[in-house]
Structure 1
Amino acid sequence: MKKFAPVLMSMLLIMTILPTAFAEKATVKREAVKYTVPSSVRNISKENTYPNSTQDLPLLQPSDLTKKLIDSSKIKIQNPDLIRMLNESSINSTPFAIGYRAIVYLGQWPLNYESTETSPNWEYQKINTNFFDNRGGKAPYKIHYVQESQKIVRGGLTSKIPDAEMVKKMMLLTAMEKTRLPLAFETVIGGGTKNDHVYNIPANRLGYLFAYAPGVSEKGKVTYGEVYLMLKGNKKFIVVKNVTSQGIGAWIPVQDFVSFGFIAPEHPR
């Protein structure tokens, strides 16, 4: 019996781990499906008559010194502007620094943003309506999307907050990472933009083709604090004081995507 004890223990361990592993895979799968683009939403980046500039906000890589300073802080630091400032700083060490002490106040900063909800709204803002009256027709009429006039779609924070531009940058980075969508706080759909997908208006019906700019609702919490650089002998570290947190939300348009809705009623809408 003792010979089989290790085998039995191994089997019990595998049976315990497998359900957890499958549950983790299922969770990942659900998360991936959550932001799947519906079939009614189409990418118009090639057809858009207004060339939107790509919103490229790569995560800024901290230098070795900056990484050590960030790791020394008890409060998480994600603000790219603060990281950039620390990257541009240099602190020379000296073997004769025994007893040396200095405190450098770097100011009050939004330190990090923690997301609690990220949800796409595929009909965030209506941008166009194409219409045709086929009530006198005897055969179906084909209609497709043509943007009648240029439309600027803007997002923004849902409330006033200190250092809004820095907060928007952190929220944008978070939302882009979670959704894998091309997001920007402003996008433009140029007049004359088209899409070749055809919608049929039956005879004796009216046809309405609505176009919407999608957007993402991003909600979470931003943490502020007063940042101090402490120099003590050869040691260098960051201390954050007077830490506060504030809830914040934002609407962020999806760039160069359009969501379509088509109806063919008997009477005008």
Structure 2
Amino acid sequence: MKKNVSLLMTFLLMLSFIPSALAQKAPVKQNAVKYQVPPSVRNISKENTYPNSTQDLPLLQPSDLTKKLINSSRVKIQNPDLIRMLNESSINSTPFALGYRAIIYLGQWPLNYESSETSPNWEYQKINTNYFDNRGGKTPFQIKYVQESQKVIRGGLTSKIPNAEEVKKMMLLKAMEKTNLPLAFETIIGTGTKNDHIYNIPPNRLGYLYAYAPGVNEKGKVTYGEVYLMLKGSKKFIVIKNVTSQGIGAWIPVQDYVSFGFAASERPR
């Protein structure tokens, strides 16, 4: 009897290990690339006749004092301009500060931006059309992209909001982080910009090569608050009052990228 019980226990233990062993052997699903650039979109930074300045908004590194102040706040602080101001501040402590108390009002600031959706639109804005009539031709005609006139592509916030420029910086940083694309609220495609990709227009057809500037639609929530610097004895900390949140969206062009669409038809379009 004892032998049978021992065999039964051994069998149950073996069964308990089978699911975990199968789980270890199960293939791990790879995360899909969410913002993969489609084949119809090409980088024209080298060919662009207008040299766009690179939009460089690195994350500002807070000083040791700024880190302590930011960590003391109950509300997350991400605004680069507020961090820069705190970095430029210096507060000297003294061992004789017993009973010392001060409250410094730093103003109302957009404190952080929380992204909820980031969606690329590869045909955000039409910028050019190259055309050729091959209806009288007997062989295919090759057409390439040539920008006929300079085009300025601008983005912006979808609604009015306080401290718009500071909010745009935070949204731009978040969108660049999520998409890994070169984004800017303004980009320019210069006249004569070309691309070597060939499109064939069949005989007896009209050929249209459309060019679009891609853009990213960024949506989320910005949090505002009144910022106070509190000095109490040798302690220094930040207090945020009257915290409010507001939904906001923005269109941000992709810099030095062009999306192409080709169509051949019997009749004019």
TM-score, structure 2 as length reference: 0.92
1:173 Cα deviation after fit = 0.2
Equivalent residue for 1:37? 37
Distance 1:210 1:110, change over 3 A: same
Q: Which amino acid aligns with 1:159?
A: S
Equivalent residue for 2:187? 187
Distance 1:34 1:19, change over 3 A: farther
Offset from partner CA, 1:234-258 (integer Å, 9 cap, x none): 1110000000000000000000000
Offset from partner CA, 1:10-56 (integer Å, 9 cap, x none): 9589569859993xx53xx22xx110000000000000000000000
Equivalent residue for 2:3? none
Q: Following the alignment from structure 1 to structure 2, what is the Cα–Cα distance between the partners of residues 141 and 168?
A: 45
Distance 1:137 1:218, change over 3 A: same
Equivalent residue for 2:261? 261
1:77 Cα deviation after fit = 0.1
Offset from partner CA, 1:68-125 (integer Å, 9 cap, x none): 0000000000000000000000011111111111100000000000000000000000
Larger gyration radius, structure 1 or structure 2: 2
Equivalent residue for 1:160? 160
Q: Which runs of 5+ in 2 are unaligned?
A: 1-5
Equivalent residue for 1:61? 61
Distance 1:235 1:47, change over 3 A: same
Equivalent residue for 1:147? 147
Q: In percent, how many aligned pairs have the same letter?
A: 80
Q: Following the alignment from structure 1 to structure 2, what is the Cα–Cα distance between the partners of residues 74 and 20?
A: 42
- Is 1:124 matched up with 2:124? yes
SS at match of 1:222: strand
Runs of 4+ in structure 1 over 6 Å off: 7-10
Q: Following the alignment from structure 1 to structure 2, what is the Cα–Cα distance between the partners of residues 17 and 59?
A: 40
Q: Which amino acid aligns with 2:68?
A: K
Q: Which runs of 5+ in 1 are unaligned?
A: none
SS at match of 1:144: strand
Equivalent residue for 2:49? 49
TM-score, structure 1 as length reference: 0.92
SS at match of 2:265: coil
Equivalent residue for 1:70? 70
Distance 1:138 1:172, change over 3 A: same
SS at match of 2:65: helix
Aligned length: 261
Q: Following the alignment from structure 2 to structure 1, what is the Cα–Cα distance between the partners of residues 46 and 20?
A: 51
